[in-house]
Amino acid sequence: MNIYVSGSMAYDRIMDFPGRLSDHILPDKIHILNVCFTVNGMVEKFGGTAGNIAYTLSLLNERPILIATIGKDYASYFDWLKKNNISQEGIRIIREEFTAGAYIITDKVDNQITGFNPGAMKYPSGYTFYNADSENSISLIAPGNLQDMVNMQ
């Protein structure tokens, strides 16, 4: 069976803040919010809805085809896909953009502040289903590029 997965591919950059974010956001100054948090460190994870679903399917010995876009910083993500035996067939590289990225600061009580750059996700993959066997295929539509989501229906 062919499994097509549309959605996002992203780098999740997760930072650990040792204090409480609420100690630095003063209610009477919220109208002029300007804060900076020094974090203990950052880890980068391979994420995005399509990437996460494809990885889970690979753990079940499935070989999904990703319908997504990725940016000019794709090399490490492609290495990870290859290591996990996930095809890069349906992925379009957008060379003038970075891969979508989530920048997440989590404090010691699990409050979070997130910044998200859609980057390459703003562009459709342009994948065509000319050779798809409709009797032996399934599509999983996850949040990502709107045009790709519509084309998968």
All structural domains of the chain, each given as residue ranges with its CATH number in brackets, are: 2-151 (3.40.1190.20)
Distance from C-alpha of 48 to C-alpha of 31, rounded to nearest angstrom: 32
Which has the closest alpha carbon to 119: 142, 138, 135, 103? Answer: 103
* Structure tokens belonging to residue 14: 């997760």
Q: Are 6 and 141 in contact (CB under 8 A)?
A: yes
pLDDT (0 to 100) of residue 151: 80
Average pLDDT, the chain: 94
Distance from C-alpha of 21 to C-alpha of 35, rounded to nearest angstrom: 10
From 23-27, 51-55, 100-104, the region with the lowest mean pLDDT:
23-27
- Report pLDDT digits (tens) over 76-95: 999 999 999 999 999 999 99
Task: Please give the sequence-ordered ranges of beta strands (E in DSSP) within the chain, or none if there are none.
Answer: 2-6, 10-16, 42-47, 65-71, 91-94, 100-106, 112-117, 137-141
**pTM value?**
0.88
Q: Side chain identity at 65, as an amino acid letter?
A: I
